[in-house]
Structure 1
Amino acid sequence: MSGNTFAAGRGPRIGFFGLLGSGNLGNDGSLEAFLAFLDKVYPDAEIDFLCAGPEAIEARYGLPATRMHWNRGEYSTASSPRAVALKGIGKIVDAFRTAAWVRRHDVVVVPGMGVLEGGLPLRWWGFPYSLLLLTASGRLVGTKVALVSVGANTEGRRMTRRVFTLAARLAHYRSFRDQMSKDAMRATGLGIADDLVYPDLAFALPIPTRRSATPPGQPTTVGVGVMTYHGSNDDRDRADEVYAHYVAKLTQFVHWLIEQGHRVRLLTGDHEDEQVSAEILADVRTRRPDLDPSCLVAEPPRSLDELMEQMAALDTVVATRFHNVVCALMLSKPTVSIGYAGKNDVLMAGMGLAEFCQSIRTLDVDRLISQYTALESRRDVVGQAMDDRNAVNRRLLEEQYALLSSTVFPAGPAEAEVLEGRS
Structure 2
Amino acid sequence: MIERDSPQIKSDATGPRVALFGNFGTGNLGNEATLQAMVLNVRKYLPNAEISCICPKPENTAKQYDICAVPIRAPSPIWRSDRERKVGDGSISKATTGPHRWMTAVLNKSLRIFSYPFVDAYRWFKGFIALKDNDLLIMTGTGMVGDYAIGPFDLHYDIFRWAVIARLCRCKLLFVSVGGGPLRHPLSRWFIRAALALADYGSYRDAPSKDHLAAVGIDVTNHAVYPDLAFSLPKAVIPAKREPERRETTVGVGIMNYHTRLGGSGSDQTIYRDYIARIASLVVRLLERGYTVRILIGDVVWDQDVRGDLRKELEERRCNYDDGKIIDEPALSVDELLLQLASVDVVVSSRFHNVLLGLMLGKPAMAISYHEKFQPLMSGVGLGEFYCDIERIDVDELIGKVVELVEDAPAIEARLALKTESYRAALDEQYRRIFEGISSYRGEPSGMGLPSASRR
Q: Does the alignment reach a TM-score above 0.5?
A: yes
Contact (CA 8 Å) 2:45, 2:432: kept in 1 or not?
A: no
Give the TM-score of the pair, scaled to structure 1.
0.88
- Whether 1:57 and 2:85 are equivalent positions in the alignment is no
Contact (CA 8 Å) 1:405, 1:411: kept in 2 or not?
A: no
Using the TM superposition, give the Cα deviation of residue 12 of structure 1 relative to its aligned residue in structure 2, in angstroms: 0.9
Q: Deviations over 1:97-126 (max 9, x none)?
A: 2222221211111221111011x2322111
Give the TM-score of the pair, scaled to structure 2.
0.81
Partners of 2:154 and 2:226 in 1: how far apart? Answer: 27
The Cα RMSD (Å) is 2.6
Using the TM superposition, give the Cα deviation of residue 407 of structure 1 relative to its aligned residue in structure 2, in angstroms: 7.8
Aligned CA distance change for structure 1 residues 11 and 234 (closer, same or farther; 3 Å): closer
Larger deviation, residues 38-47 vs 178-187: 38-47
Contact (CA 8 Å) 2:259, 2:266: kept in 1 or not?
A: no
Match of 1:382 in 2: 412
Unaligned runs of 5+ in 2: 1-11, 84-104, 443-456
Aligned CA distance change for structure 1 residues 53 and 97 (closer, same or farther; 3 Å): same
Match of 1:396 in 2: 426
Partners of 1:384 and 1:350 in 2: how far apart? Answer: 15
Alignment of 1:137-152 (within 5 A): 137-152=165-180
Q: Deviations over 1:398-418 (max 9, x none)?
A: 100110024877379xxxxxx
Using the TM superposition, give the Cα deviation of residue 183 of structure 1 relative to its aligned residue in structure 2, in angstroms: 0.8
Alignment of 1:3-402 (within 5 A): 10-71=14-75, 80-83=106-109, 85-86=111-112, 88=116, 89-118=118-147, 120-205=148-233, 206=235, 207-211=238-242, 219-233=248-262, 239-271=268-300, 272-288=302-318, 290=320, 292-402=322-432
Aligned CA distance change for structure 1 residues 110 and 396 (closer, same or farther; 3 Å): same
| Identity among equivalent pairs (%) | 32
Contact (CA 8 Å) 1:173, 1:408: kept in 2 or not?
A: no
Aligned length: 400
Bigger radius of gyration: 2
Using the TM superposition, give the Cα deviation of residue 221 of structure 1 relative to its aligned residue in structure 2, in angstroms: 0.5
Contact (CA 8 Å) 1:99, 1:133: kept in 2 or not?
A: no
Partners of 1:42 and 1:235 in 2: how far apart? Answer: 38
Unaligned runs of 5+ in 1: 1-7, 413-423
Aligned CA distance change for structure 1 residues 173 and 256 (closer, same or farther; 3 Å): same
Contact (CA 8 Å) 1:150, 1:177: kept in 2 or not?
A: yes
Partners of 2:381 and 2:401 in 1: how far apart? Answer: 16
SS at match of 2:227: coil
Partners of 2:288 and 2:110 in 1: how far apart? Answer: 52
SS at match of 2:344: coil
Partners of 1:212 and 1:335 in 2: how far apart? Answer: 19
Amino acid at match of 1:26: G
SS at match of 1:342: coil
Contact (CA 8 Å) 2:261, 2:371: kept in 1 or not?
A: no
Partners of 2:291 and 2:352 in 1: how far apart? Answer: 24
Partners of 2:373 and 2:47 in 1: how far apart? Answer: 33
Aligned CA distance change for structure 1 residues 198 and 122 (closer, same or farther; 3 Å): same
Larger deviation, residues 253-262 vs 292-301: 292-301
Amino acid at match of 1:96: F
Match of 2:94 in 1: none
Amino acid at match of 2:377: L
